[in-house]
Chains A and B, each alone.
Chain A
Amino acid sequence: MSQTDRPQDASSVSRRGFLRGMSASALAAGALAPAAQALAATVGANAGPGATTSAKAAATVFGPAPIAVNLTINGKTRELRLEPRVTLLDALRNHLDLTGAKKVCDRATCGACTVLLDGKAVYSCTVLAVEAQGKAIETVEGLAEANNGAAPIQKCFVANDAQQCGFCTPGFVMACESVRRRNPHANREQALAELGGNLCRCGTYHGVANAVLDAIHGTTGGK
């Protein structure tokens, strides 16, 4: 018996475990839900030599060997060869050395890995890299580079000391940027409600709250 081999009934299968289980064998389109089938269709064009055809379901199967994966990151196209089970977070961190997004819980709880996918804040630890193909991926590094080293929200983080150890910071920056873009008039309560998916251990919430409101309303001159 090992920790990861606990029997689970169908109703208790987590999204993460499901993805893992699939990748351990192969990403078989025929066995997936409709959304994932669409995904397989999307990646089909880039499947490369790692793709085979399952006789049983007559569907395209990717992996377990690495396949070609094209990602659009911070406006640039990056071609990688990845096992289909590689998450977007691991693709960024381990294959592209974009280590701004952090791995903390690895289970879609803490938000340290937050990136923007087509402008929407997502937990990149729970998005497969192959799923992110064809979408605009924006990371904390890209946000800074597009703004001469520091976007307004990042300047507000510095001015309001919205960081201590800084390990949750890149995730919070991206989550705050998402709030700022989607709700440019958010009040304190609305902004905080939207940041409930990010956790900090040092306890820097006071600074983060001030930073996001500063970025939205220019309240403390951090802009």
Chain B
Amino acid sequence: MADLAWPNPDDCTLIGKRVPRLDGPDKCAGRAKYTYDINRPRMLWAKFATCPFGRARVKSIDIAPAETMAGVVAVEVIAGAGTECKVAFQEVAVVAAESEEIAREAARRIKIEWEPLEHNVVDDDVAMAGNKAKAGKEALTEDFAAAIDGAAVISETEVGCSIITHCCLEPHGSVVEVTEVDGKTSVMAWCSSQAVSGVGGEFAQAAGVDAANVHVSCQHMGGGFGSKFGADLWGALAARLSKKTGRPVKVMLERDMELALAGSRPSAFARMRVGVEDDGAIIAWESAAWGSGGNGGGMGAPSLPYVFGNVEHKKTQTTPIFTNTGGARAWRAPNHPQMCLLTMAALSDAAAELGMDELEFVKKNLGLTGRADVYAEELGIAAELIDWKKKWMPRGDQRGVLRRGLGLAMHTWGGGPHDSNVQCTLHPDGGVEIRCGTQDLGVGARTTIGIVAAETFGIPLNKVTVLIGDNRYPASGGSGGSTTVGAISTATRHACVQALNKLCEAVAPEMNAAAEALVAKDGMVRGKESTAGGVPFADACRRIGTQPIVTMGQTQRGNGMSDQGVGGVQMAEVEVDCETGIVTMQKLVAVQDCGRIIDLLTTESQVRGAMIMGVCAALYEERIMDPVTGTLLNPDLEFYKLAGIADVGELVVHMMQTPDHLKRGVIGIGEPPAISPMAAISNAVANAIGARVKRCPMTPDRVLAAMKA
């Protein structure tokens, strides 16, 4: 029998090791079927006619040119005459047709007369945004003015970052098949969703049935990053059109709509003042921040200053700006990367103002953070990995065309588990099936479950069948906020330990042993003290009779099973060409704790991925709006720039896996490493060129402007 507690790390053959992902072979052979890949007999394609302005009223709409086209099966008006569209690319009408080409052409033929209305797409300038900027209340600690005036040095910083989008490579969308048999309606929905267990209700409502009649499947999904929790209007339309036409309907957004509507991260800008003592102690923080989350307004928590929240004297104020642009959605560690940039840039500038090494400066102020010990250790490791002591030079000390710089940033996140249910079926022939209504966004959820089950039963990973991505499996929470791994790993352990213990009870009499004295290891069931012999696992399973053992497990919190609250440090080295303004990544180091790691290989991949997303935000990507028409100027991957394989420099990942970290249990990793890179890179550029580039992405023009200022 086994305890629920995680096994001793030294006894593990899979947990904590580098295990290749279970679905890797299918993904790289093109066999993995994503929602976009679902083709059904008689399936219709749906395409949209959309709004070309930031804000405009539909004066008239004529769908006849589309309706009369050969191959068009249904046309539905979404925004009829008189409707005000509030963002560019907003859906006005949808066409369902026999082929993708016909649907696209028909959507183009729809005649729409527009009355353009006043709009605002300015998110970076409070004055220009006019009444769309709603100044928030000022928060002020007692004696703030006296405190900051009494500081030895007051440094000033202005910095910010543009709106970026999620830019999932598989766009948002669904394939929906509504069928009616003997008056009973049922819905089959393939949906690229981060919340397979919860998304059925949206299809049910659209098709006019109970959620119990909706079957949702998402075996593989091409990215989500926080933007794919719901079926959205697009999934609902697929259901409605399928019901109306009696045929399966595929709605997948084209790249322009994906970039305009399907999720973005708010911009954030701030003017800050930091009051410090001569020895580097921070005594006062002042910030006036602004930014926009699109048509929903501004940014939310966390507040400033980030991580160093315990500064005694603070004055903060935030002004959200409402824009006619697609709304914000949770983007990997919502708002943390932006607040990290604002804070760490201000601290770096304060250190430079004092003439202090930035690393020494943050070390001096670790008492203002909630995890001083963790940060101190991580800062030391990161500094070694990037060779900080040898490479660091005071800001602005360099001459010459090519200049190198170092920068650092720190972050925090929760990462506690959501509620998850897992079913374990142990067959009499030794087969193990795990069912869970979770989903794999590409982070290795499927593999995590398999590892925990195989480790618990002491069998090879390929002997476990992992079934996920289906709302008919036991419900599991949406994958957001780094909540999944702690949930599915502990629920799987819970289910499998119960099944194993039943097996031990069934096999104990024959082995002349007490069930408590049996363990499953190396493919055998044997006595606890033995290192060899015993009964092969499959033979042992034959003793359970004809009925498989079925157990249910749930998320386990605390007791060393799972936990929340992590810290991380990242350090960047860049090279700046002072003639062209081009910034080249040299090295990015991440030191991160996340409790006990289940699969080190996929964990490290996820951390590196987060770092690369940070490189994109620091140097390349941003959503650019046209102030004249209010539309999106870069609705494609040519001008919505992502880093390429040769743009990211060397990436070094160090996961904290000391006994103290392991004993906390499993903690999520999706968000934390995505927080620091933009700030660390901004600081590295400032260190190299001796000036703060005021906005990320730090494009060549912005770098040159900062050098001229």
Contacts and interface: CB of A to CB of B under 8 A. Distances in A.
B170 A144 contact: no
B108 A154 contact: no
Nearest to A198: B645
A110 B167 CA distance: 12
A100 B108 contact: no
A141 B260 CA distance: 33
Interface string A76-108: 000000010110001001100111111111110
Given A24-B105, A90-B100, A201 B31 contact: no
A107 B259 CA distance: 14
A208 interface: yes
Interface in B469-508: none
Given A1-B52, A164-B606, A167-B170, A203 B28 contact: no
Given A2-B108, A94-B99, 4 more contacts: A103-B36, A105-B638, A107-B637, A167-B223
Nearest to A108: B638
Interface stretch (B200-208, B406-414, B609-617): B609-617
A179 B38 CA distance: 30
Contacts of A90: 100-101
A109 B20 CA distance: 29
A202 interface: yes
Given A105-B636, A201-B167, A201-B168, A165 B441 contact: yes
Interface residues of B, number: 65
Given A99-B33, A102-B170, A104-B255, A159 B20 contact: yes
Nearest to A110: B637
Given A112-B169, A201-B169, A208-B645, A3 B52 contact: yes
Contacts of B642: 199-201
Contacts, number: 193
Interface in B18-59: 20-21, 23-25, 27-34, 36-37, 39, 49-50, 52
A205 B613 CA distance: 11
A72 to B, nearest CB: 18
B169 A165 contact: yes
A195 interface: yes
Nearest to A107: B636
Contacts of B443: 164
Given A2-B112, A165-B169, A193 B646 contact: yes
A188 to B, nearest CB: 10
B39 A105 contact: no
A5 B108 contact: yes
Contacts of A170: 27-28, 30
B494 to A, nearest CB: 27
Interface residues of A, number: 64
Contact of B108 (A4, A159, A167): A4
Nearest to A153: B28
A161 B606 CA distance: 10
Interface of B: 20-21, 23-25, 27-34, 36-37, 39, 49-50, 52, 89, 99-101, 105, 108, 110, 112, 114, 167-170, 220-223, 225, 254-256, 441-443, 601-602, 604-606, 608-613, 631, 636-638, 642-646, 648, 651
Nearest to A94: B100
A17 B307 CA distance: 49
Contacts of A136: none
A196 B646 contact: yes
Nearest to B642: A199
A159 to B, nearest CB: 6
A58 interface: no
A165 B26 CA distance: 12
A101 B645 contact: no
A205 B645 contact: yes
21 contacts: A3-B50, A85-B101, A93-B39, A97-B39, A102-B169, A104-B169, A141-B29, A144-B31, A149-B25, A154-B28, A154-B29, A157-B28, A163-B27, A164-B605, A166-B23, A166-B27, A200-B169, A200-B645, A201-B223, A203-B610, A204-B605
Contacts of B636: 105, 107, 109
A85 B99 CA distance: 12
Contacts of B52: 1-3
Contacts of B613: 201, 203
A107 B443 CA distance: 28
Contact of B25 (A150, A162, A164, A205): A150
A161 B637 contact: no
Contact of B29 (A1, A4, A150): A150
A140 B637 contact: no
A169 B52 CA distance: 33
B28 A205 contact: no
A39 interface: no
B20 A100 contact: no
A158 interface: yes
A162 B28 contact: yes
